[in-house]
């Protein structure tokens, strides 16, 4: 099950009812191409994009409700649809629907391994139990919750740190990558770089697992972000937040101590969804530096240099506006306004992993491949194959879009494979 989320989660269908406008296929594709830097399979990506435009009726048939985007979910009303009740309500609706169709659900049942005959699925193993079936869909997440594997994937940096030791996992603790590793060892083709993931800068006070969406800190583009040395390190206003939020976890991961500090002033308040924990608040900037544990002299220089470099035009957070810095490195290219209006707020940030991109190679039927050949009855969906579409980067909602599109494809393929085998057995 997905973690409880009091805020709605998003998918990316393209029809009008819930969104303010449609998102054309080509624009979605160009966004994906840009954020992945070309590390995507165009055929599979377009399949996801097209499926996202007609999945909503199917989702509704299975009890999913949508709602309009909330105010503060900036820049998303055109591109994203929101599930009423968030991910948990979505999953509960699907479970209810599956139950009505006669599907038996085993909770608290961790699959340790699959029995295969060459590339064909034979049975799943759960402890001492063996469950045979004509076909199988694997949809058991990435390996983001496996701290040892994450440590190995990220290795040691030039400062002698093991960055992954400071990562937090936004979702379930159960995505240990058990079947992903098992399948790779069994000869399934894999795709993706193990160090690439959807990684968001989240509140450093979030728990190790399951902090959920409420620990995300969404005010980066309205302020500045400093590292442990109290200096800025990246353009906070590079692009709209939904197109950039998923790079900030990685940016923080590359900083000393894997920590960052987002600083805003009262002009930003009310313009973003506040995280569940209130920020550190101070009437003066030196006091804020002190409370955040940052060197006040360097902190004040960083903020004054930034403030002096701001060329404020017409501030508008809904467009790529003309408020930018001049003569500052790194620049802030949009929404740059001096941090000068108390009270001031600071949020310590840590990398929050949502899901990893290393996965199993697949095709338009969602088949698992062995030596370039598709299995006839073993399929894969969701995070376990998301790396086929997302080699790196992210654009808001594409995670659920991949899961929904490939969940349906894998289910259809598995049903077809099971029926074919039954027909063969009967002949
Ligand atoms: C906090 C948070 C916010 C998010 N927000 C968004 C958003 O707004 N929009 C969006 O598009 N995406 C979002 N995502 C991503 C989205 O939730 C995932 O892309 C999607 O849930 C992936 O589905 P999945 O079925 O592949 O994996 P999951 O939903 O993670 O499900 C995997 C399931 O497999 C189980 N499992 C793992 N190993 C085994 C095993 N060996 N045997 C049996 N079961 C196993 C796990 O317990 C889990 O229940 C968010 C994710 C998180 C964590």
What structural domains does the chain harbor? 199-351 (3.90.700.10)
Q: How confident is the model at residue 149 (pLDDT cuts 50, 70, 90)?
A: very high
Question: Phi, psi at residue 371, to the nearest 5°?
Answer: 55, 35
Distant-in-sequence, close-in-space partners of 137: CB < 8 Å, separation ≥ 6? 366, 379, 380, 381, 407, 410, 411, 414
> Residue 47 gets which letter from DSSP?
H
Q: List residues bridging with 356 in a β-sheet.
A: 197
User: 330 preceded by cis ω (within 30°)?
Assistant: yes
pLDDT for 11 equals: 47
Residue 399 Cβ inside 6 Å of ligand 1? The answer reads: yes
Q: Which two tokens stand for residue 336?
A: 């740059």
Give the pLDDT mean for 131-154.
98
**For residue 4, pLDDT beyond 60:** no
By C-alpha distance, which of 15, 5, 171, 19 is closest to 86?
5
Ligand 1 nearest-atom number relative to CA 354: 53
DSSP per position, 378-409: EEE-GGGTGGGT-SS---TTHHHHHHHHHHHH
Longest Cα separation, the chain: 82
Residue 7 Cβ inside 6 Å of ligand 1? The answer reads: no
- Residue spans of alpha helices (H) in 165-295: 178-185, 241-244, 248-253, 285-292
Distant-in-sequence, close-in-space partners of 96: CB < 8 Å, separation ≥ 6? 63
Give the separation between CA 138 and CA 126, rounded to whole angstroms: 14
- The pTM (predicted TM-score) of the whole model is 0.91
Residue 4 Cβ inside 6 Å of ligand 1? The answer reads: no
Residue 251 Cβ inside 6 Å of ligand 1? The answer reads: no
Instruction: Calculate the average pLDDT of the chain.
Output: 92
**For residue 367, pLDDT beyond 70:** yes
pLDDT tens per residue, range 38-88: 999 999 999 999 998 889 999 999 999 988 876 655 566 667 788 888 888
């Amino acid at each position: 099950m997905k973690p409880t989320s009091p805020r709605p989660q998003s998918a990316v269908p393209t029809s009008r009812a819930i969104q303010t406008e449609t998102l054309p296929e080509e624009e979605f594709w160009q966004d994906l191409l840009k954020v992945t830097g070309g590390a995507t399979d165009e055929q599979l990506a377009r399949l996801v994009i097209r499926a996202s435009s007609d999945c909503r009726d199917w989702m509704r048939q299975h009890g999913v409700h949508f709602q309009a985007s909330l105010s503060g979910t900036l820049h998303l009303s055109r591109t994203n649809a929101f599930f009423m009740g968030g991910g948990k309500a979505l999953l509960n609706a699907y479970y209810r629907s599956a139950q009505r169709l006669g599907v038996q659900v085993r909770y608290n049942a961790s699959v340790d391994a699959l029995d295969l005959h060459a590339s064909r699925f034979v049975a799943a193993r759960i402890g001492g139990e063996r469950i045979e079936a004509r076909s199988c869909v694997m949809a058991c997440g990435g390996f983001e919750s496996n701290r040892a594997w994450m440590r190995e994937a990220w290795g040691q940096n030039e400062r002698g740190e093991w960055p992954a030791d400071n990562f937090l996992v936004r979702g379930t603790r159960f995505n240990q990558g058990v079947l992903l590793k098992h399948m790779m060892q069994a000869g399934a083709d894999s795709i993706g770089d193990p160090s690439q993931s959807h990684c968001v800068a989240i509140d450093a006070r979030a728990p190790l697992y399951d902090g959920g969406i409420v620990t995300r800190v969404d005010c980066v583009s309205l302020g500045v972000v400093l590292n442990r040395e109290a200096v800025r390190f990246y353009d906070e206003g590079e692009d709209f937040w939904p197109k950039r939020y998923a790079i900030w976890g990685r940016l923080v991961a590359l900083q000393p101590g894997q920590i960052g500090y987002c600083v805003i002033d009262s002009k930003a308040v009310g313009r973003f969804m506040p995280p569940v924990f209130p920020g550190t608040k101070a009437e003066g900037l030196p006091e804020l530096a002190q409370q955040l544990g940052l060197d006040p002299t360097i902190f004040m220089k960083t903020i004054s240099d930034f403030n002096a470099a701001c060329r404020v035009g017409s501030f508008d957070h809904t467009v790529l506006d003309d408020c930018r810095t001049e003569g500052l490195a790194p620049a802030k290219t949009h929404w740059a306004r001096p941090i000068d209006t108390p009270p001031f707020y600071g949020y310590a940030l840590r990398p929050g992993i949502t899901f990893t991109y290393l996965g199993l190679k697949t095709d338009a039927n969602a088949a698992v491949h062995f030596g370039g050949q598709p299995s006839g009855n073993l399929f894969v969906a969701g995070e376990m194959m998301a790396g086929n579409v997302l080699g790196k980067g992210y654009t808001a909602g594409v995670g659920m879009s991949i899961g929904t599109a490939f969940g349906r494809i894998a289910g259809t393929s598995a049903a077809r494979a099971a029926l074919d085998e039954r027909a063969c057995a009967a002949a």
